[in-house]
Chain A
Amino acid sequence: MEETKNKNTQVLDIGENYAEKYGFRDPEEYFHKGAKGISHEVVEMISRMKKEPDWMRDFRHKALDIFYAKPMPKWGNTELLNSINFADIYYYIKPIEAQGKSWDDVPEYIKKTFDRLGIPEAERKFLAGVTAQYESEVVYHSFKEDLEKQGVIFLDMDSGLREHEDIVKKYFATVIPPNDNKFAALNSAVWSGGSFIYVPPGLDVKIPLQAYFRINAENMGQFERTLIIADKGSRVHYIEGCTAPVYSTNSLHSAVVELLALEGAYIRYTTIQNWAHNIFNLVTKRAVAHKNATVEWVDGNIGSRLTMKFPAVYLVGEGAKGEILSIAFAGNGQHQDAGAKAIHAAPNTSSRITSKSISKGGGRASYRGLVKVYPHATKSKVSVECDALLIDGASRSDTYPTMEIDADEVRIEHEARVSKVAEEQIFYLTSRGLTEDEARLLIINGFIEPFTKELPMEYAVELNRLIELEMEGSVG
């Protein structure tokens, strides 16, 4: 009885102290807070403060020109996209002067934030290294010595540039150039933070590398930049999760993530993003898989006002494999525009896309996917499966699948399903003593099980909890 009661209070409370539960926020005591808006001066300031080499500074300025020149996307939810006011956003905030070198150096108020996110606990359990992004700068960064000894580089992107300029210069923006799209250009101009990983040839990084991201200042854009290079025959799993605070005005998150899996390498990139409901989450994620390499995106999207995210794999070497597994949860007032891209540019390549979406309370989930097989990519295999679950009649799901198959002997499987939670299923479960809410949640957890079973236990638990909160969050 007690737990039911607690739960009920939680349900009632959620609208009121959501800010405390997830959207807790610290007073803004920033070392440096630039002016709102974007300009060449802001870009110059960012680059100077970071003491970057000239080539990066030039890169930023050129990217800004591209950002100015490019029009807003004319597809997707243009109404929401056009509501973004670029002049009303902070593009760079540095919370403390230097990066905390150890846990002791991290300021108390930031530790408190991490405590509530459960980071130290997570680390105790199985973290190899934690890069937690607080505001634009990475403040805490640690990873196990043995990884370092093996030659694995796991740094925040800024440190990566400082300490391994040669590697960064060789690969940075080679997968996603600034002129790819307007938001990639913006990120290129003002990027800050993100992860930089390099795994040397033949090394199997047994423990997942994890980063925790967090946005704190109101109206602050977070433009992290992640670059992961798995050298020949190496293996790595990178995990990031996000919990963002609640604010009344819009915040912009626009990341760029580039993955390179060299010959025979394996990269898995797992993300669970739980953004506050006013955040615009416009992310460009792309991977290149060379000969016999494998890239897997495991991508979970919860929260945000609008998410546009289509993790891509470019299969450029013979025998390369790509897998994109995603879920999206769209609640009231939210639009999850998520999907995947697989580009087959070599023979015997294979891709598998599994996309699951849940819409509830008038939320909208779109699947947008592109599979392209170039003429010489013969004997390739393509599999696309989209599954949408509607919780109520007010919600919406749509799919925009595109397939351009220009090669012969390609095996294609495509399935798309839209289903509703059946009343009969609910009755079946309630007749066993579950409440209707519990029954619905169990059905939803079952629906996304193919996704959660790919997550480390801790993340699976958190995801289920987040969805439980989302389900409780709105009544009717």
Chain B
Amino acid sequence: MNEKKVIFAFKDIHIEVEGKEVVKGVSLEMREGEKHALMGPNGSGKSSLANALAGHPNYTITRGEAFINGKSLLEMDATERARAGLFLAFQYPLAIPGVTVANFLRSALKSKYNGDENILREFRKELNEKFQALDIDKVFATRYLNDGFSGGEKKRIEILQMAMLKPQVCLLDETDSGLDIDALRIVSKGINEFAPKDGAVLLVTHYQRMLNYVKPDKVHVMMAGQIVRSGGPELALQLEEQGYDWIEKEVMKAVEV
């Protein structure tokens, strides 16, 4: 396993939001084909980490480095990061009124591939297939992006975007939140099917339940801006049973010692 190529890595990342440090030195390495889960209680800094890595202007990375496919990420702006293969599925996707889902995807693809129209030749066909796979009604192609969509619909459209844009590294920020059990199953199926086989997926989540469907290779727990524990899938199950308290206590103990 360990001989596989490192696709995505970041080291000692510190992040500030409005002058306050919310992530305090976080490191991670993901190899080709791996799925990692980044878990933690609310406010632990996991969403900040995902947003900052994707280039959100409100999150300032004050220290550390990050690489996608060996290329240094932090000098790039959000556009360049996306074009380098990074994708962030938003926790709260934004509405773009007047821009249909299909037109948006067409624009994004065209832009990503520098105006190469060939990329759009099979666009309709592919879009239809992916709508079907994600159990999204075809009318959504002509609806305005996220405008009036339910929480679950937005999450499906995020995964649809991932499927269409074919990124190499996917940061999925609480993609499971706000989904009922059926939607969770479909979205998970979508992630399994469309996440890059030769890339890496980081599932940012509060709960273990999605991990029943999307099996992570590794699980990391974040608290107060740091990764306090890493382990295999069993760590997620343990969290599900016992909550985050026990880790917190252990961490506190370690700090005291």
Contact = CB atoms under 8 A, between A and B. Distances in A.
A442 B161 contact: no
Given A2-B115, A423-B57, A446-B144, A430 B98 contact: no
A422 B94 contact: yes
> Main SS of chain A's interface residues?
helix
A431 B111 contact: no
B88 to A, nearest CB: 5
A443 B99 contact: yes
B56 A427 contact: yes
Contacts of B104: 429, 432, 442
Interface string B89-132: 01001101111000010011001101100000000000000000
Nearest to B58: A423
Contacts of B82: 430-433
A278 to B, nearest CB: 31
Contact of B98 (A422, A432, A433, A449): A449
B96 to A, nearest CB: 5
Interface string A170-212: 0000000000000000000000000000000000000000000
Given A423-B57, A432-B161, A433-B82, A438 B111 contact: yes
A4 B83 CA distance: 13
A442 B57 contact: no
B94 A442 contact: no
Considering residues A428, A430, A433, A434, which has the most beta carbons from chain B within 10 angstroms of its beta carbon?
A433
Contacts of B88: 431
Contacts of B161: 432
B96 A433 contact: no
Interface string B61-80: 00000000000000001110
A463 to B, nearest CB: 13
B196 interface: no
B111 A434 contact: yes
Nearest to B116: A3
A54 interface: no
A299 to B, nearest CB: 18
B54 A433 contact: no
A430 B87 CA distance: 10
B165 interface: yes
Nearest to B97: A446
Contacts of A104: none
Contacts of B144: 446, 449
A427 B57 contact: yes
A425 interface: yes
Contacts of A454: none
B96 A442 contact: yes
Contacts of B112: 432-433
A73 interface: no
A424 to B, nearest CB: 6
B77 A446 contact: no
Considering residues B54, B87, B115, which has the most beta carbons from chain A within 10 angstroms of its beta carbon?
B115
Contacts of B165: 432-433
A-B pairs, top 5 by smallest CB distance, nearest first, are A446-B98, A3-B115, A449-B98, A433-B112, A446-B99
22 contacts: A1-B114, A423-B57, A425-B94, A427-B55, A428-B93, A428-B94, A428-B96, A429-B96, A429-B104, A430-B82, A431-B82, A432-B104, A432-B112, A434-B79, A436-B77, A436-B79, A438-B107, A442-B96, A442-B104, A443-B99, A446-B144, A449-B99
